[in-house]
Amino acid sequence: MRRDPHPTDGRARSAALTAAGRRKFRQLWEAGESIRTQAVSEMSSDDARTLVRLLNQFAESLDPNAIVVKSVTEG
């Protein structure tokens, strides 16, 4: 992680992943793939859509520029 100056608030700092942090994140994401697949495979289509909707709502509340997943199958 690195701390960068906030672009509009000189008093604040933002956190960002370094290149090593992004590599570690990818490694951990790949390691958890089987767990995520198993969890989602047990859900009904309606439950999966509800989960995606709620996670998108949560992400948007944290960051209005968040990436929104359009469908469960699009990833």
Predicted confidence at residue 75, as pLDDT, reads 47
Predicted confidence at residue 18, as pLDDT, reads 93
Rg (Cα) of the chain, in Å, rounded?
A: 16
The per-type count for the chain, helices as H runs and strands as E runs, is: 3, 2
H or E element in which residue 30 lies: helix 19-31
- How far is Cα 33 from Cα 22, in angstroms, rounded to an integer? 17
Q: 67 falls in which pLDDT band (50, 70, 90)?
A: low
Predicted confidence at residue 29, as pLDDT, reads 93
- How far is Cα 68 from Cα 43, in angstroms, rounded to an integer? 20
What tens digit of pLDDT does each residue of 19-61 get? 999 999 999 999 999 998 998 888 998 998 999 899 888 888 8
Predicted confidence at residue 71, as pLDDT, reads 62
Predicted confidence at residue 54, as pLDDT, reads 93
